[in-house]
Structure 1
């Protein structure tokens, strides 16, 4: 028998997204640091403080972004249904709504991501990185890499709010083991969606990281030139520097956020929905 789940309101989506973002960032910050350091070609940190440098900025970025993505996704799903509560969204509709939410979220995510990268590069505080960027390059520089971020986030959000849940439900029908072990199915679905999202977006993420680490455009003028230069110098392997760490991080993030979201929907259904 299917477990009863409730639909979350916009406010509840915001709260659940924020909690999921904080949890996954705090747990996985060393993977994030490894990915950024590999892509930017810098030495690895030599102590725990270095591995967790930027965790507050990153959690401060990811939590509201994940919250925003979930809330916008909910709004887009309602828009697609157009008030028709008699049916559920089809797989392609879920994925499309999630992609739209991810692209819209880049308005917030792109400048915050840039600050995290500059904080780690300059080994300074959040305020120090923000001040250094705006003082030397102006406020508009905070949106350097915006298009790359929008592409990355549309695919990423489609993964954890669309492909992941759809894949999990499909995996449950494939074998009795998965139908009887929900967490195993959720792990498999998250890994499938996370790996797909990582493979599709990592070259774009590498270009974005290179751009945002080179604020003066000394080496990388834009995302296209960054992609071409990294490929010409290091081949396809260069475009996937830090790819293993990022893939592991994305799979973990999908699993953590999906569990938080499912738990919230079940809790609401059991305690508040009549």
Structure 2
């Protein structure tokens, strides 16, 4: 049993989130452009536009997901008086951890999307949003963000570890060094991408057009879904799928690899 506490998992998650964004930010720029229907950025500075707020957003998101998942696991074991988590319990706790992080990620991504569109600095964009929309507007798209983060966290916190364990029990697969890790990471990443892509597209559209008076079609989750289906077709929900799939598969490896390495190092040091 690991000795790493929820608070320590929170710190590990914060570092893992910054590392992941620092590596994968260009895929975010491409994905957002495809989802919004604007030209894809062509230069490195343009691809990394919004990286500061993106890293600032991912830091608390992964911190909360790591820490909350560990807290919920410990609480479950204490209440249920068991050391073993069922498959369903593992999935449910991961989804709960993901949902809790949406309240931090939603406003940060709103600022990043507006910054990518306008090309303003972070400080200038924050001032513009406050002046034009007020302090509550960055929470637009929260319901879609909750859906996305629940399923995403389920992918890397539950599906990937569970699948890796199952694959490691297969002699033919376990005989190949690293095969369970690679196969579980790719599978979990692709499943998480497909499951969360519609919610991510809805969230991006809602946040890209914040003025409900000018763009009433993006006023709510349901109006956004209805507008996209009627005017562009259901396939639009999967715009930007491949750059996002690449990012999420890589993120599964980065986040799980970083977490496992640090947790094992801490446990070994204490032992």
Structure 1 length as normaliser, TM-score? Answer: 0.93
- Which position in structure 2 is the counterpart of 1:258? 256
Equivalent of residue 194 in structure 1, options 177, 189, 196: 189
Task: Please list every run of 5 or more consecutive structure 1 residues that lacks an aligned counterpart in the other structure.
Answer: none
Please give the per-residue CA displacement for 1:105-126, whole angstroms capped at 9, x wherever unaligned: 1111111111111110111122
Post-superposition shift, 1:6? 2.7
- Which position in structure 1 is the counterpart of 2:122? 126
Equivalent of residue 67 in structure 1, options 63, 69, 79: 63
Please give the per-residue CA displacement for 1:145-175, whole angstroms capped at 9, x wherever unaligned: 0111011101111111111110111111234
Q: Is the 8 A contact 2:14 2:59 kept in 1?
A: yes
SS of 1:8 mapped into structure 2: coil
Q: Is the 8 A contact 1:179 1:185 kept in 2?
A: no
SS of 1:28 mapped into structure 2: helix
- Which position in structure 2 is the counterpart of 1:230? 228
- Which position in structure 1 is the counterpart of 2:154? 158
Find out whether 1:26 has 2:22 as its counterpart: yes
User: How many pairs were matched up?
Assistant: 268
- Which position in structure 1 is the counterpart of 2:238? 240
SS of 1:139 mapped into structure 2: coil
Where does structure 1 differ by over 4 angstroms across 4 or more consecutive aligned residues?
83-86
Structure 2 length as normaliser, TM-score? Answer: 0.93
Equivalent of residue 206 in structure 2, options 211, 214, 238: 211
CA distance in 1, matches of 2:207, 2:189: 24
- Which position in structure 2 is the counterpart of 1:185? 180
CA distance in 1, matches of 2:219, 2:62: 29
- Which position in structure 2 is the counterpart of 1:269? 267
Q: What's the RMSD between the two structures over aligned residues?
A: 1.6
Find out whether 1:117 has 2:107 as its counterpart: no
Post-superposition shift, 1:177? 3.6
Task: Please list every run of 5 or more consecutive structure 2 residues that lacks an aligned counterpart in the other structure.
Answer: none
Post-superposition shift, 1:179? 5.0
CA distance in 2, matches of 1:125, 1:168: 42
- Which position in structure 2 is the counterpart of 1:91? 87
Post-superposition shift, 1:272? 1.2
